[in-house]
Amino acid sequence: MPGTGYDQDDMSRHDPGTRRATISDVAREAGVSPSTASVVFSGKTPVSDATRRRVLDAAAALGYTGPDPRAASLRRGRSGIVGVVFEEHLGQAFLDPVKTLMMDGLADAVGPLGAGLLLLRDHEPAGSDAAQAAGPSLTTAPLDAAVLIGCSGMLRESLETVKARGIPVVVIEGDAGGDVPRIDLDNREAQRQLASHLRALGHRRAAVVTLPVRVDWERGWIGDDTAITVDVTRDRLAGALDVFPDAPAYAAAGSFIDEGLAAGREIFADPDRRPTAVIAQSDLLAAGVVRAAEEAGLRVPEDVSVTGFDGIVVDGLAPYELTTAVQPAADKGRAAGAAVAAMMEGRPAASIRFTCTFREGNTTGPAPGSAAR
Amino acid sequence: MPGTGYDQDDMSRHDPGTRRATISDVAREAGVSPSTASVVFSGKTPVSDATRRRVLDAAAALGYTGPDPRAASLRRGRSGIVGVVFEEHLGQAFLDPVKTLMMDGLADAVGPLGAGLLLLRDHEPAGSDAAQAAGPSLTTAPLDAAVLIGCSGMLRESLETVKARGIPVVVIEGDAGGDVPRIDLDNREAQRQLASHLRALGHRRAAVVTLPVRVDWERGWIGDDTAITVDVTRDRLAGALDVFPDAPAYAAAGSFIDEGLAAGREIFADPDRRPTAVIAQSDLLAAGVVRAAEEAGLRVPEDVSVTGFDGIVVDGLAPYELTTAVQPAADKGRAAGAAVAAMMEGRPAASIRFTCTFREGNTTGPAPGSAAR
DNA sequence: TTGTACGCGTTATCAA
DNA sequence: TTGATAACGCGTACAA
């Protein structure tokens, strides 16, 4: 039986139309060796103009549009893809102006590196239906590096996965432990500064509106027994408590104006226990608190002062301008990009802690009845 | 000489630490064939428990964390990556609530498909410095499919690239021509409906605030000679002109409240030519127009009516609720995902035109002095 | 400047 | 249930 048949495999085996041309096909058509054809496309080695022409013509004739990225990335060992891992639903993440800015910086930083950003979700809760169907996790995506974004303990698992795979990884706003470069803020210090500002204005009774304390948090007061697994939340809260040790804290379910509004209503509900200052852990929350204050018939800042955090532009808050800590969000993204770039080239990458800038707006003023006015 | 030496290749040949273990290493360690080891990880074929144990143990011992995605994707011919191509800077794109929602739907739809989203920018202007350094374009990224988002003619080039590569492609809000499935809205009809609403209220003098007419547009009035390369802009404008043929149109430089504000100031500047209704091509623009009206001492809707487009929640616009056309943004994303999914499985995918829903808010009312009140 | 030879790490197929 | 074999499509020493 051997030796009998034609070699029509290619035509018969592949169902639709003809097989895509490969670089070998091009080379054959052009009458050169595959390696020469390869070089024409990569430009790694000088090629005579005549040869290049022939190869390019052959490619055009065959409809060959360049090396298959899959094969190329196997060969070179690099895919040109940087994974960005979020904890939340992607849509949620992009609702956050700070994350948006970060992505911006990140994209800037990895672009020149020849890499693109692959959006990834953190591990689905194990066993869930979603986990079955889930897309390419850290495990299955062809990543050259990964940037973990977020704060919660859930990151741990992703972190292990990615470290086990031996690809460079950087964490933004989260504690990765050990040897993983970390990009974050002086959250505690910045929050302390805002709180001190309030104290200097004579405020003695403050309340805190925090970001979620963990991923699946529903809004509510934080008790002594509430475990705070989100680093940002914990650190900023610590900064506030450094100055107002007794301040009650209400945790929102997310960084949204509506959440701030809900928290504000709760906080302003009892006239007897009403604070003269509210420390919100994000500008959006602060905007909601301001609105809640108005709703409760309180003037800002005459009756109650409000501070934010982030330094983003909050639409629709005019004429208010939040007193806030401005964080360099885009710079954080850029730094993360630079860090993975360094690691991909084998250079070490250091952790960076960025500093916030205090910005006084018109939402803070002397405490009512205080001598500070 | 053969038969003499140890087999220490692995230790000596590869510079840093030891080479990563491959599935063959694992197979050898476990005493099974590579194909069996492969099957253990892919689960494509039943394997005896004993064998599985041995392989898994061997993997653990060697620190093997699963098949290399690059090799796997070469072999299977699929990478599990769907490219999402934007025209603008990524950060810009995510500032747009509509795009954010779309991404959301898209992520939903491709997830179950086992795919992730790779963020890609449209081609840099050829010859620019950026183009040199640019990351993985459509040409170099290992995509299984691509979703083109946006509207301008620039998409053409991306489209050619991607079609030449023979990968499935879907276009959202753009004219791809021919055989490329298209996901879009009944922009013209929806806009016409809003305009008709105004006309029914007695308005006769309307102005339009449009989205950018092309990618690099600076804000300004649209003249007879202004070429509009952005489909959405053109279609919505056509819908408005269907009802108000003489309406002047001012094109903003982007879909932002601030842009709407600037446009509104321009439109309300001359008291003699002041319209009684402003048709904005997005809710954000409309919000800005409302603000400009307030600024000019005009009451909304008593002195001037304003319509939006999109049906998003505009923060800070309370107590106004825009009269607008609500578009199913997330559904658009989901449909795009479904379409690429279908094409990846060889099934045909049809274009889909979604329909907007008219929603009356409190920013439109009878024309001043009209009988319609 | 061009060609030869080899392997990157998998997985599909088929036979045992 | 397991194993042998053969690609997948390319890049790159190295030799010519």
Q: Which nucleotides of D are covered by protein (CB under 7 A)?
A: 1-13
To which residue do tokens 């991607």 refer? B162
Q: What's the pLDDT at A318?
A: 74
Q: Do A136 and B317 touch (CB under 8 A)?
A: no
A-chain CB neighbours of B115 within 8 Å are 135-136
**Which of A130-134, A253-257, B8-12, B249-253 is most confident?**
B249-253
How close does chain B come to A341, measured CA to CA in Å? 13
Nearest nucleotide to A26, CA against C1' atoms: D9
Q: Is the pLDDT of residue B55 over 90?
A: yes
Q: What's the pLDDT at B1?
A: 33
> Residue B172: what are its φ and ψ, rounded to 5°?
-105, 125
Q: What's the pLDDT at B107?
A: 87
Q: What angle, rounded to 10 degrees, do the helices at A34-42 and A23-30 form?
A: 110
Residues B230/B253, Cβ–Cβ less than 8 Å: no
Residues A100/A84, Cβ–Cβ less than 8 Å: no
Task: Pick the range with the lowest mean pLDDT from A21-35, B73-87, B108-122, B204-218.
Answer: B108-122
Beta-carbon neighbour count of residue B318 at 10 Å? 9
Give the whole-angstrom CA distance, residue A278 versus residue A241: 12
Annotate A108-135 with b (16+ C-beta within 10 A) or e (fewer). Answer: bbbbebebbbbbbbbbbeeeeeeeeebb
**Cα→Cα distances B311→B104, B360, B361, Å:** 16, 10, 10
Q: Do B111 and A161 touch (CB under 8 A)?
A: no
- Closest-CA residue of B relative to A163 is B65
Beta-carbon neighbour count of residue B342 at 10 Å? 17
Mean pLDDT across B156-167: 82
pTM of the model: 0.84
Q: What's the pLDDT at B334?
A: 95
Residue-by-residue DSSP string for B213-277: SSTTPPSEE--TT-----HHHHHHHHHHHHH-TT--EEE-SSS-HHHHHHHHHHHHS-GGG--SE
**Which of A110-114, A178-182, A212-216, B240-244 is most confident?**
B240-244
How close does chain A come to B138, measured CA to CA in Å? 10
- Closest-CA residue of A relative to B319 is A316
Banded pLDDT at B18 (limits 50, 70, 90):
low
What is the C-alpha radius of gyration for chain A, rounded to an integer number of angstroms?
Answer: 28
- Closest-CA residue of B relative to A160 is B65
Which of B80, B121, B287 lies at the smallest CB-CB distance from A136? B80
Nearest by Cα to A257 from A231, A300, A289, A299: A289
Banded pLDDT at B135 (limits 50, 70, 90):
low
B-chain CB neighbours of A70 within 8 Å are 70, 73-74, 77, 79, 142
**Cα→Cα distances B366→A185, A186, B247, Å:** 53, 54, 18
How close does chain B come to A209, measured CA to CA in Å? 20
Q: Which residue's C-alpha is at the least distance from the C1' of D3?
A: B33
Q: Do B119 and A115 touch (CB under 8 A)?
A: no
Angle at A155 between CA A152 and CA A158, to 5 degrees: 170
Q: Which residue's C-alpha is at the least distance from the C1' of D1?
A: B47
Q: What's the pLDDT at B8?
A: 31
Give the whole-angstrom CA distance, residue A242 versus residue B156: 58
Banded pLDDT at A69 (limits 50, 70, 90):
very high
Q: What's the pLDDT at A11?
A: 29
The residue of B81, B95, B99 whose CB has the most chain A CBs within 10 angstroms, and thus the best one to mutate to test that interface, is B81
Beta-carbon neighbour count of residue A273 at 10 Å? 11
Q: Is the CB of A20 under 7 A from strand D?
A: yes
Residues B344/B144, Cβ–Cβ less than 8 Å: yes
Angle at A144 between CA A139 and CA A148, to 5 degrees: 65
Residues A300/A294, Cβ–Cβ less than 8 Å: yes
Q: Which residue's C-alpha is at the least distance from the C1' of C8?
A: A75
Burial class (CB in 10 A: 0-12, 13-18, 19+), A175: middle
A319 preceded by cis ω (within 30°)?
yes
pLDDT tens across A175-220, in order?
A: 777 788 999 999 999 999 999 999 999 999 999 999 999 878 899 9
CA-CA-CA-CA dihedral for A160, A254, A330, A316, to nearest 10? 170
pLDDT tens across B350-370, in order?
A: 999 999 999 999 999 999 987
- In angstroms, how far is D6 C1' from A54 CA? 32
- In angstroms, how far is C2 C1' from A296 CA? 82
Q: Is the pLDDT of residue B53 over 50?
A: yes
The DSSP H or E segment spanning A221 is strand A220-221
Mean pLDDT across A78-95: 83
Give the whole-angstrom CA distance, residue B192 versus residue B213: 19
Q: Which residue's C-alpha is at the least distance from the C1' of C7?
A: A75
| CB proximity list for A34: less than 8 A, separation 6 or greater | A23, A24, A27
- In angstroms, how far is C5 C1' from A76 CA? 18
Q: Is the CB of A14 under 7 A from strand D?
A: no
**Cα→Cα distances B157→A20, A134, A215, A325, B122, Å:** 21, 32, 42, 43, 9
pLDDT above 70 covers a percentage of chain A that reads 88
Angle at B45 between CA B42 and CA B51, to 5 degrees: 85
Give the whole-angstrom CA distance, residue B43 versus residue A304: 62
The DSSP H or E segment spanning B369 is none
Annotate B51-85 with b (16+ C-beta within 10 A) or e (fewer). Answer: bbebbbebbeebebbebbbbbbbbeeebbbbbbbb
Residues A194/A206, Cβ–Cβ less than 8 Å: no
Q: Which window residues (35-54, chain B) lie with Cβ within 7 Å of strand D?
A: 35-36, 39, 45-48, 50-51
pLDDT above 90 covers a percentage of chain B that reads 62
- In angstroms, how far is D12 C1' from A70 CA? 17
- In angstroms, how far is C5 C1' from A73 CA? 20
Q: Is the CB of A39 under 7 A from strand D?
A: yes
Total H helices, total E strands in chain A? 14, 13
Q: Is the CB of A35 under 7 A from strand D?
A: yes
Mean pLDDT across B103-107: 89
Nearest by Cα to A200 from A32, A38, A358, A13: A358
The DSSP H or E segment spanning A13 is helix A9-13
Beta-carbon neighbour count of residue A177 at 10 Å? 10
Which of A68, A80, A133 lies at the smallest CB-CB distance from B111? A133
Mean pLDDT across A312-324: 86
Q: Do A20 and B166 touch (CB under 8 A)?
A: yes
Give the whole-angstrom CA distance, residue B97 versus residue B107: 15
pLDDT above 90 covers a percentage of chain A that reads 60
Q: What's the pLDDT at A276?
A: 97
Question: Please, what is the average pLDDT of chain B?
Answer: 86
> Residue B128: what are its φ and ψ, rounded to 5°?
-70, 160
Give the whole-angstrom CA distance, residue A167 versus residue A178: 15
Q: What's the pLDDT at B163?
A: 83
Nearest by Cα to B65 from B32, B16, B20, B14: B20
How close does chain B come to A149, measured CA to CA in Å? 16
Residues A90/B103, Cβ–Cβ less than 8 Å: yes
A301 preceded by cis ω (within 30°)?
yes
Q: What's the pLDDT at A271?
A: 92
What is the C-alpha radius of gyration for chain B, rounded to an integer number of angstroms?
Answer: 28
Mean pLDDT across B171-178: 82
Q: What's the pLDDT at A9?
A: 31
Q: Is the CB of A73 under 7 A from strand D?
A: no
B-chain CB neighbours of A140 within 8 Å are 66, 69, 72, 80, 114
Task: Pick the range with the lowest mean pLDDT from A13-27, A122-136, B7-21, B313-327.
Answer: B7-21
Banded pLDDT at B110 (limits 50, 70, 90):
confident
Q: What's the pLDDT at A371?
A: 61
Residues B322/B153, Cβ–Cβ less than 8 Å: no
Q: Count contacts between A and B (CB, < 8 Å).
A: 180
What token pair was written down for A32?
A: 């050169």
A-chain CB neighbours of B316 within 8 Å are 257, 287, 314-318
Banded pLDDT at B123 (limits 50, 70, 90):
low
| CB proximity list for B250: less than 8 A, separation 6 or greater | B207, B208, B209, B210, B219, B220, B221, B222, B263, B266, B267
What token pair was written down for A351?
A: 């952790």
Q: What's the pLDDT at A94?
A: 80
B-chain CB neighbours of A135 within 8 Å are 80, 110-116
- In angstroms, how far is D8 C1' from A142 CA? 16
Terminal-residue alpha carbon distance, chain B: 105
What token pair was written down for A71?
A: 């094969």
**Cα→Cα distances A131→A124, A136, A138, B18, B148, Å:** 5, 11, 13, 33, 28
What token pair was written down for A301?
A: 């800042």
- In angstroms, how far is C8 C1' from B19 CA? 13
The DSSP H or E segment spanning B123 is none
Residues A215/A154, Cβ–Cβ less than 8 Å: yes
Q: What's the pLDDT at A154?
A: 61
Tell me B367's DSSP state. Answer: P
Task: Pick the range with the lowest mean pLDDT from A133-142, A196-205, A247-256, B166-175.
Answer: A133-142
Banded pLDDT at B238 (limits 50, 70, 90):
very high
Q: What's the pLDDT at B326?
A: 98
Q: Which nucleotides of C are covered by protein (CB under 7 A)?
A: 1-5, 7-13
Tell me A323's DSSP state. Answer: B
How close does chain A come to B319, measured CA to CA in Å? 11
Tell me A164's DSSP state. Answer: H
Q: Do B74 and A79 touch (CB under 8 A)?
A: no
Mean pLDDT across B38-60: 92
Beta-strand pair B116-121/A116-121: antiparallel
Higher pLDDT, B341 or A114: B341
pLDDT above 70 covers a percentage of chain B that reads 89
Nearest nucleotide to B70, CA against C1' atoms: C9
Which of B80, B161, B257 lies at the smallest CB-CB distance from A141? B80
How close does chain A come to B99, measured CA to CA in Å? 10
Nearest by Cα to A368 from A299, A312, A315: A299
Nearest by Cα to A263 from A209, A309, A319: A209
Q: Is the pLDDT of residue B303 over 90?
A: yes
Q: Is the pLDDT of residue A236 over 80?
A: yes
Q: What's the pLDDT at B126?
A: 44
